[in-house]
Amino acid sequence: MIPSGLEKWNLNMNHGNGGADKKIGLMGGTFDPIHHGHLVTAESVYENLALDRIVFVPAGDPPHKQDSSVTAAQHRLRMVEIATASNSHFFISDIEVQREGPSYTIDTVEYYRCCYTDDTDIYFITGVDAVVQIPQWKNSDGLFELCEIVAATRPGYPTKNFFRFRDQLPAHQRQSLRMLAVPALSISSADLRQRVSEDRSIKYLVPEGVEQYIEEHGLYKSSRSNAIRVSFFE
């Protein structure tokens, strides 16, 4: 399923040259599809926190999106691959797609925590919209212990909500959470899916290769016709 021999995919089991990493960023998401908001956020965190690499981890079966259909993982992975191809410090992991059952962030972070030695810091990157949901996630206490959570600003999601959320957390969890201002791009995957279904342009909102991929595979054309839970991609 996964293209072989690609450096970008080496992150799951043996980290390529990643063994020497001191700071890695994990960027979780459904990426249905990936867009410039995700990419600018990841690059901004990479630069601001002086990370060694960012690993994009597309969700396999997102627990919070059970009621809606999600595009086949193979398409979403391929679009992440296309979007990150030109960035040498962006990597991709299919760990959540390969794992059976719902994708839980704690399982992913535990996996990476085990792969690296204790002197490597793990940063879990999320938007301020998603961060406030974390207490509802599986073993959220463990997540705060295993990594630092970086909440990126996002247009439409006032930072005051983030600060209210942060202030309610116990002190030891507050220490593992920070907000980072990133260039504001008011782009969402939901809006992109809507645009495509209405034959409206998504040019300049996603990388050109992603736009072409969506077109070639007829994604998002009609009401979730590519959204299936079993893989059919070849």
Contact residues for ligand ATP (CB under 6 A)?
A: 29-32, 37-38, 41, 126-127, 129-130, 152, 154, 185, 187-190
Q: DSSP secondary structure string, 187-226?
A: --HHHHHHHHHTT---BTTB-HHHHHHHHHTTTTSSTTTT
Q: Which is nearer to ligand ATP, 189 or 226 (CB)?
A: 189
Q: Which is nearer to ligand ATP, 11 or 70 (CB)?
A: 70
Q: DSSP secondary structure string, 9-61?
A: GTTTTS-TTGGG-SEEEEEEE--TT--HHHHHHHHHHHHHTT-SEEEEEE-SS
Shortest Cβ 20–ligand ATP spacing (Å): 27
CA–CA separation, 105 and 134 (whole Å):
10
Structure tokens at 24: 């890695």
Shortest Cβ 182–ligand ATP spacing (Å): 6
Shortest Cβ 127–ligand ATP spacing (Å): 2
Q: Which is nearer to ligand ATP, 18 or 220 (CB)?
A: 220
Q: Which of 104, 178, 172 is nearest to 148 (CA)?
A: 178
Is the CB of residue 117 less than 8 Å from the CB of residue 89? no
Residue nearest to ligand ATP (CB): 127
Shortest Cβ 164–ligand ATP spacing (Å): 17
Shortest Cβ 191–ligand ATP spacing (Å): 7
